[in-house]
Chains A and B, each alone.
Chain A
């Protein structure tokens, strides 16, 4: 008695299933905290009047609890707070000095189990997706490193004069910038997970910004045409130019990647609930189920080896960045009719011109 009994009570309250101790006639003697919550036996004297047969299991389980001393276990349901809950019930006979003294009834809430399994599966899928997206980033990064390393090595071995190298400096600068963008995307993704991402807001005009960016982008060799349609004179916003650049670039390169060569990608700038950029492509479109995958942390539609490479975290990061600005990034698409990505940013105080 004493310490051991108290320790057993503490232990019983610590387990994540309901534990009930009943006497030989099925009278409830003890129930742990979990059981009292499940069965709404919260009043201190509630146990006194209870017996196993009053526990609201499915009828067949109730009669088995009465007549079958056990040991046994079965899946059944229990009614708790007006809801039917799937549970696993186990009954174990307890004998004291060889004589039947009572029984132990254990109830496992199967919703907890399914949640735990779902959570574990989700974590595993997320891990796999993370690995895959690290491969993507590494792939993109290794291209840039190969190019820069190649020119430097040619100079080092004397095949390329330092004066001849000057011609390739714009290529090196482009590649370094590309690496910097990948690095920023990785850092921002990490900062998002830690909750430490801070924007550096500046007043700028979304329409001018997008027009400039499209002008600066190299004409894609895929023959895609990038068209800009301004339906508003000005779209004044407050934004972090580096993050806005990353969002717009991402949406544009996505449109180019997933639509046939030689087709048109149209950027429409308009004023509605806010400053809006709409990027429409003439691609195959995205099925409804896949649309929700687009913005998951590491999701990419149709994870096939034949798919064009791309940073898996691109759209997820872009949407998060847009939301940090108080805006949003959404998609509407229909298979066979292309996709339309919409970036909506809040207008700067003072409104539109």
Chain B
């Protein structure tokens, strides 16, 4: 089973993403900004990171920069969910909000790769 970390400062947004992914059989953990996400990642193994861009304390862009610079997490698949038209180029995929649940599940499955269980 894949474990997915969702980073967003809006709890209800994490809620719907969680439900979509849990219905697809994934395990979900949450963080409310970039700094909280780094803490989560230090505590447990995560197979995919889904993050917003504009967040207080630490933005999604800064989070991605830090992860890419850290050998342990440099290869972690990252999906950016953003309303902003500015793409974050160090992410593996950028998805615009709002999105379709089926689209989110498909992209997550692709990023998790062939060996991830659905």
Contacts and interface: CB of A to CB of B under 8 A. Distances in A.
A256 to B, nearest CB: 9
A143 B17 CA distance: 11
A135 interface: yes
Contacts of B19: 150-151, 154, 160
Interface string B35-64: 000000000000000000011111101100
A108 interface: no
- The B interface, classified by DSSP as helix, strand, loop or mixed, is loop
Nearest to A153: B101
A145 interface: yes
Interface residues of A, number: 29
Contact of A151 (B11, B16, B55, B56): B16
**Count class of interface residues, chain B:** 20 to 34
A139 B83 contact: yes
B16 A142 contact: no
A128 to B, nearest CB: 15
Contacts of B99: 146
B15 interface: yes
A69 B23 CA distance: 89
A347 to B, nearest CB: 37
Interface in A302-338: 305-309
B59 A142 contact: no
A147 B13 contact: yes
A212 to B, nearest CB: 22
Contacts of A175: 12
A157 B54 contact: no
B10 interface: yes
A304 B29 CA distance: 29
Contact of A308 (B11, B56, B84): B56
Interface of B: 9-13, 15-17, 19-20, 23, 32, 54-59, 61-62, 83-85, 97-102
28 contacts: A135-B84, A139-B54, A139-B83, A142-B98, A143-B10, A143-B97, A145-B97, A146-B97, A146-B98, A146-B99, A147-B12, A147-B13, A147-B16, A150-B19, A150-B98, A151-B19, A153-B100, A153-B101, A154-B19, A154-B23, A154-B101, A157-B102, A159-B101, A160-B19, A171-B12, A221-B11, A222-B32, A306-B58
